[in-house]
Amino acid sequence: MTMKIGNYISEAFEELKSNTTWPQWEEVQRLTIVVAVFSVLFALATWGVDELFAKSIAGFFNWLKA
């Protein structure tokens, strides 16, 4: 069992070294910025929808009380 795990890890590292095409550093930086911008935009959109629903639900319950 231990030999199989060791063999698997060894083959996985060899695969990463010899058969994987890694992106250039400039592309990594550019894509990191793209991911960060979209993450912020998605967080703001989620916050906006959450605020909208919170105010809608609060308004609905205030309407029920009246």
Q: Measure the CA–CA gap between 6 and 55, rounded to whole angstroms.
A: 56
Place of tokens 């550019």: 30
- The pLDDT profile of the chain, 66 residues, written as one tens digit per residue, is 678 898 999 999 998 888 888 899 999 999 999 999 999 999 999 999 999 999 999 999 999 987
Per-residue tokens: 63: 């309407």
Hey, where are the domains in the chain?
A: 24-66
Instruction: Say what the pLDDT of residue 50 is.
Output: 98
Q: Measure the CA–CA gap between 56 and 66, rounded to whole angstroms.
A: 16
Instruction: Say what the pLDDT of residue 22 is.
Output: 87
